[in-house]
Structures are given as C-alpha cells and as structure tokens.
Amino acid sequence: MVDVTDATFENDVMQASLTAAIVVDLWAPWCGPCKTLGPILEKVIDETKGQVVLAKVNVDENPAISRAFQVQSIPAVFALKDGRIVDGFVGAQPEAAVREFVDRLLPTDVESFTTATPEDEAQRMQRVRRLETVLSQLSPKARATFIWARRDGQTYEEIGKQLGVSRNMVKKYLQQAIAHCRKSLDREEGG
C-alpha cells in the first residue's frame, strides 16, 4: 500500500500502472464508509502478493486528484492499468464484492504465461520463437483463441464472437493451449 499525494500521483499511480494494476482508494478520515471499506481493500489486495497495488488518497489533503477523477462522493475506488481507468465503484462494498473487483484485475493465465520477463532481449526472442513453434502445433481454433486472449480487455464472450464459438469453448481452447504451451516449453527447457 502506498499513500499518494497530488505531487506523487504521476509516479505512484500512472507510471506504476504500466507494470501492475493499481487500485486508487479516494477516502477521508471523517468518512464512516471509508473506514469500513479501507481494511477490506487492504486485506484483499494484500492477498494478491503485489499483482495489484493499493494507492490511498486522502481527498481533503489532495484535491487535484479528486478533481481529476471527478469524485462526487466517497469512498470512490478506481482501478488503473496501463495508465487508464479500467474499473471502479463508489460506496462501501462487502468483502465478496471487493474480492470480485480485485480478481478482475489479476493477470489471466494467458497474460501470466506470455508476459514473463526474461533477463535480456536474446532470451525474450528465444522464448518468442519457442512459443511460435508451440502455437503452430495447436488447432487453428485453439491458436486463434490464445492470440485473441492477448488483446487488451477481450472477454471470453468477445473472443467467442470473433471466432464463432461459445464462451465455454473459448475457455476450453485457452486451457488446452496453455497446457500444451507449458508442457512443450517445459520439455524444451528441461531437455
């Protein structure tokens, strides 16, 4: 968790959102619902082990941030990825709702698998070549599903619509593709 000010917002939120999902909690010490929501956000986000970061903003002390988010009531919570707002809510929420909100921000299996950060460019290129080889072994639908899933913000429904298959088939193809890729790459790296 990081306490963010008008002066640190650009670095602590905007720049940080390029590498991790950031949840901005706009609150005030006098706000009862904020006191209820704050510990829930902290608990749920702490469980992500750094995949989601909580940025707390005291609106009384940081009016520029409040204006930027056009906050009319608090608590107001916004999720940012890649420098833009991707989700949010206003008002205290139960832990189950907060957990669903945070879970939507976690990397998908596809994102986790394909965004591993190798030590240098040569390793990255080698991994890309291996992944291309493995993907070429998949069925056309599984390969297309895997590739569509890498597009920013694509839901299973949207991928299915593009490919002419159901949401459940998208999940099935993705699971097959990820399992096949992991198995092939593990075998290649191990032997």
Do 2-103 and 109-190 agree at the fold level?
A: no
pLDDT at res. 52 = 95
Query: What is the third-level CATH fold of 2-103?
Result: Glutaredoxin (3.40.30)
CATH, domain range 109-190? 1.10.10.10
Residue segments in the chain with a per-residue pLDDT below the cut of 70: 108-136, 138-156, 159-160, 162-165, 180-191
- Domain limits, the chain: 2-103, 109-190
**In this structure, are strands 2-3 and 52-58 parallel, antiparallel, or unpaired?**
parallel
Instruction: Dump pLDDT digits (tens) for 88-128.
Output: 999 999 999 999 999 999 876 555 554 545 455 666 566 65
pLDDT at res. 82 = 85
Q: Which residues are catalytic?
A: 31, 34
**For the stretch 170-184, what's the b/e string if a residue is b when 16 or more beta carbons lie within 10 angstroms of its beta carbon?**
beebbebbbebbeeb
Statement: the pTM of the whole predicted model exceeds 0.85: no
